């Protein structure tokens, strides 16, 4: 029976012991200096907590609206034998690729045609908060106060147009991703220290 609404909410807490930690080992040939490439240890302790919410709304047989919200708080607690100079991940550092908040919104409209087929219009937008891109804090730039310079928040708009004729076993779709031409970075390697 329309309209109808479906929703879901969840909360989570996670604690890690012996989590892999990328640290910069000391350079044996240059006392007081570190080697440029991190080595993983298993001495990390960390925690994360958060909540996720989702909502699906069907106002009529032709419309579908969905919404999702994610909230997360991450924190390194202990990292074992780390560089006391602060060159590397420190307690309190955030996890990489873990923005504190993110959401998505999708709208679908299914339009019937007089020939029995139908056309679907789909729009989807996803946004995420600022975030750290590298799990090794020594490769994450800091400002004059020692605070991480985060990757900026961004949103991506995608769209799709689908035609399905009546009684056929094929469809035709036209789609576009990142329709607002948003610039963002989701990978790569920082070679400044190599």
Reported as a single tens digit per residue, the pLDDT across 34-49 is 777 777 888 889 999 9
User: Model confidence over 54-110: pLDDT tens digits?
Assistant: 999 999 999 999 999 999 999 888 877 765 555 556 777 788 889 999 999 999 999
Burial label, 82 (beta-carbon count in 10 A; 0-12, 13-18, 19+): buried
* pLDDT for residue 99: 94
Length of the chain: 194
Whether the ω angle into residue 3 lies within 30 degrees of 0, i.e. cis, is yes
pLDDT of residue 96: 84
Structure token digits, residue 154: 């961004």
Mean pLDDT of the chain: 87
Q: Return d(Cα 160, Cα 62) in angstroms, integer.
A: 16
Neighbours of 48 (CB within 10 A): 16
pLDDT tens digits along 118-169: 999 999 999 999 998 876 666 677 788 877 788 899 999 999 999 999 988 9
Q: What is the pLDDT averaged over residues 184-188? A: 75
More confident site: 187 or 29? 29
* Higher per-residue pLDDT: 171 or 44: 171
75 CB-side CA count, 13 A:
9
**24 pLDDT band (50/70/90 cuts)?**
confident
Q: How far is CA 108 from the centre of its chain?
A: 23
Query: What local confidence, expressed as pLDDT, does residue 136 receive?
Result: 66
pTM for the predicted model, two decimal places? 0.79
pLDDT for residue 1: 64
């Amino acid at each position: 029976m329309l309209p109808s609404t479906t929703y879901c909410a969840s909360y989570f807490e996670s604690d890690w012991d012996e989590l892999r930690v990328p640290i910069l080992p000391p350079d044996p040939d240059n006392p007081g200096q570190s080697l440029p490439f991190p080595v993983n240890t298993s001495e990390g302790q960390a925690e994360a907590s958060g909540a996720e919410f989702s909502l699906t709304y069907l106002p009529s047989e032709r419309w579908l609206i969905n919404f999702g919200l994610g909230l997360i708080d991450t924190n390194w607690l202990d990292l074992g034998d780390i560089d006391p100079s602060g060159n590397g991940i420190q307690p309190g550092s955030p996890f990489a690729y873990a923005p504190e908040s993110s959401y998505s919104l999708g709208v679908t409209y299914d339009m019937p045609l007089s020939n029995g087929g139908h056309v679907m219009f789909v729009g989807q937008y996803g946004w995420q908060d600022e975030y750290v891109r590298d799990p090794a804090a020594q490769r994450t730039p800091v400002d004059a106060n020692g605070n991480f310079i985060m990757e900026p928040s961004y949103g991506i708009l995608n769209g799709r147009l689908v035609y399905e004729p009546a009684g056929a076993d094929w469809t035709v779709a036209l789609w576009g991703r990142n329709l607002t031409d948003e610039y963002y970075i989701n990978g790569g390697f920082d070679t400044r220290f190599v």
